[in-house]
Amino acid sequence: MKLTRSSLALAVLAAPLLGAQVHADEESTQPPDNAKAGTFSVLTYNIWHDQRDWPLRRDFMVSEIKAMNPDVIVLQEVIQREHLENQARTLAEMLGYEYFFSTVDPPERAQRYGNAILTRHTVLETDMRKLEPLDDYRTAAYMRIEVDGKPVDIYNTHLHHTRQGGGVRAMQIRDMLDFVEATREGTNRVILAGDFNANPDWDELELVLEDYVDTFAMFVDDPLAERHATLNYHEPIGHSMRRIDYVFVHRKGMEELKPVRSEIVLNEPGPGGIWASDHFGVITWFEKRF
């Protein structure tokens, strides 16, 4: 399934008939006054579907994301249910972004679960791939956006979750990278982000690092240190401390999208001690050189 700019309006109307959803909003959030001119930012965030108090978590994460004002947000663990609107759509409407939702769940199913890409830029194309092995129900989402007249390709995924599943993740990564090569059409302005469920030094990530750079690792002395964990290890969440969420940029693309800063965010509780998710977010800022 591939949507071009000319077909985007039709895709919005046809979304209930597809394996993915697209939403367009005429409003766009303007950069904050302290935003650096010539920068481009990408946030990856696993939102923990509708666990705990979703409305309270939602409002807290929206307030935090508005302060960051990222150009692109990639989300994992997005869900919709019979009495719950698609979370990506809800967040996009609250933030004033467009969104694309990828899932293996058919449109007629009341509960649908997957990944999403949100942006405040013009959407040129969207696509998705169901990743091998198909019985693990994982997808890669793709969105091509227009930034200062140039296309930038964004990919988002959420890989197999077990520690012992390195072989499954390797298969998914190979399939995803094949999808990237099939859709990026020669451009090196490529961002690959999401929840890879793999530590930075695990073998399967070497497949990504052949052509992509772990942007967060560029700005810390020890990218393997537990203090850089992106899983929420605080009570009452209680995960082990692991860094598994990433923003990667194509090595050749760094000539035009140069990483200048990367941080772990959404890593503090909000009002009443509420945590926005069981993950922290990772945001990277790039200097635009085009």
Q: Please give the model's pTM, rounded to 2 decimal places.
A: 0.89
- Structure confidence at residue 36 (pLDDT): 53
Contact 42, 261 (CB under 8 A): no
CA–CA separation, 74 and 114 (whole Å): 11
Is the pLDDT at 26 greater than 80? The verdict is: no
- Structure confidence at residue 2 (pLDDT): 52
pLDDT in tens, 61-79: 999 999 999 999 999 999 9
Per-domain residue ranges of the chain: 2-288
Is the pLDDT at 141 greater than 90? The verdict is: yes
SS3 17: helix
Is the pLDDT at 232 greater than 80? The verdict is: yes
Measured CA to CA in angstroms, residue 31 lies from 28, 68, 222, 241, 256 at distances of 10, 9, 31, 33, 20
- Reported as type and span, the H/E element at residue 183 is helix 166-183
- For 55, the token pair is 């409305």
Question: Which one has a higher pLDDT value, 11 or 181?
Answer: 181
- Structure confidence at residue 58 (pLDDT): 98
Domain 2-288 has CATH 3.90.226.10: no
Query: Comparing 11-15, 216-220, 269-273, which segment has the lowest mean pLDDT?
Result: 11-15
- For 264, the token pair is 């772990």
Beta-carbon contacts of 224 under 8 Å, excluding residues fewer than 6 positions away, are 199, 200, 201, 243
Q: What is the mean pLDDT of residues 19-39?
A: 46
Compute the Cα dihedral for 167, 171, 172, 177 and give only its sign: positive
